[in-house]
Structure 1
Amino acid sequence: MTIGFSLPPAVRDSYLCYDGQELESKESCSDGIFFGLPLLSIEQITQEWRFWRNVDEDPSSGANDEVRGWMTSCPAGWVRSEYSCRGWLPLITDHVGNYIGVDLSPAPSGGGAPGQVILFGRDFDTKVVLWRGEGEGGWGRFLQFVAEELEAGEMWSLEEVNSGSEDEEDTVGYESYFSGGGSGAGLGGGDRGGSGAAGFRLTGDYKGWPVL
């Protein structure tokens, strides 16, 4: 796959260490390490990125000037005002069309920089540069932030799957939009497989909130 942009060193180096996350183990957590969201493999990144290149040309969404007019970013002007963009590389997903990834082609007139970590996808008209994810080294700083939060254990808890938690609605977002019942079922791969012994839930002030 040729995307037309250079990968930030932090992204390249991290994927030399691990290629996504395996969710099929029945001996561990059933959800992704990013508070329930999984890290995509290179193969899955390719599938997701190619799917969105079709959206770029869709007159009802990516190629629609009215839709583009609704798009904003936070901070303002840091991310392109687009519904979809070939410079947005998905790395983490909720499997219903929303992502955390790196922006390789930020708005040219704003304060953003290639490599910044952003939240984007079908449900987010406002694309957000994430906390500690700014700049070329954003992915490395973002990974450090997640590791620190996991070690602190103040924002999340691990609960048995189907334990009757009042937060069970949080799992709704994990249906794949590529296959298995998501809104774009049948368009490709990328379903969330397997079942595990425990799942992430946000807690404290964030109890009951969706991760994205």
Structure 2
Amino acid sequence: METVKAFTRLQSAVETQFPQFAGRLRPPAPFTVSWAERPGAEQVLSLWSATSGEPDEGLLGLCAGYRLLGPHESERERAKWVDLMDGSGLDAVANPSWDNSISLDPNAVRAVYFAAGWVPVLRRPLEADYLAVDLVPLSGGRPGQIVTCGRDVEEKIVVAPDLATLLTALSEECTAGNWAAQTVETTKTELPFLLRQGQDLLNACQDRTFPPQ
């Protein structure tokens, strides 16, 4: 249950630092996924037993400017890649000839555009870029490791060994005062979000400045 403890700690940090965001995450709801028995999947299931993520409307991103995805939104994001996939099941990958993906951890994570075994948990708002739980690691990796992936992420790396480590690092940043409340205007409304001071979260992961080593 380390994942749930880490999530609870992150939720408490957000609500303490930014009371206006208290109670904004959705409660857990029933869901089923085809990959529930895969090694590394249990941490995602634990997270989703505690929350269904951010609401579809009214928020832009509560985790350092990124959206915390629940099961239905995560599965929708994975489904966006189906038409590019070759193979079947979780072994399917999107590896088009025009893609320039490389792996900076070549023994641990695949150098492909997207893999069916990558389960997005944090999403860059309005984009198809993610931090994902990797259920199909290479021999030098571990099931459940956190990886960077998505449309604009050519360099795939291992960010953290598991989801609890990632969530704990986020809660420590929030508690340290490294996030700020912001809003962005749309044609219809203003959407609040929590911005990470300094580098964008994915960029910091790519530079290996987050999580702290």
Q: Does 1:22 align with 2:46?
A: no
Question: Residues 6 and 113 (structure 1 numbering): CA distance in 2 closer, same or farther, change over 3 Å?
Answer: closer
Q: Does 1:147 align with 2:171?
A: yes
Shift of 1:54: 1.6
Number of corresponding residues? 162
Q: Does 1:46 align with 2:75?
A: yes
Question: Residues 100 and 194 (structure 1 numbering): CA distance in 2 closer, same or farther, change over 3 Å?
Answer: farther
8 Å CA contact retained: 1:157, 1:200: yes
- Report the identity percentage: 25
Shift of 1:103: 0.5
Instruction: Quote the Cα distance in structure 2 between the aligned partners of 1:128 and 1:83.
Output: 13
1:118-133 alignment, distance < 5 Å: 118-130=147-159, 133=160
Instruction: Quote the Cα distance in structure 1 between the aligned partners of 2:183 and 2:114.
Output: 36
Shift of 1:101: 0.9
The letter for the 2-side match of 1:10 is Q
Candidates 84, 88, 94, aligned match of 1:62: 94
Deviations 1:125-165 (A, max 9, x none): 211211xx11xxx10111111111111113x2223545xxx
Is the strand fraction higher in 1 or 2? 2
TM-score by length of 1: 0.66
Q: In structure 2, what is the equivalent of residue 179 of structure 1?
A: none
Candidates 90, 97, 102, aligned match of 1:72: 102
Shift of 1:118: 0.8
Shift of 1:8: 3.0
TM-score by length of 2: 0.65
Q: In structure 2, what is the equivalent of residue 81 of structure 1?
A: 111
Shift of 1:112: 1.1
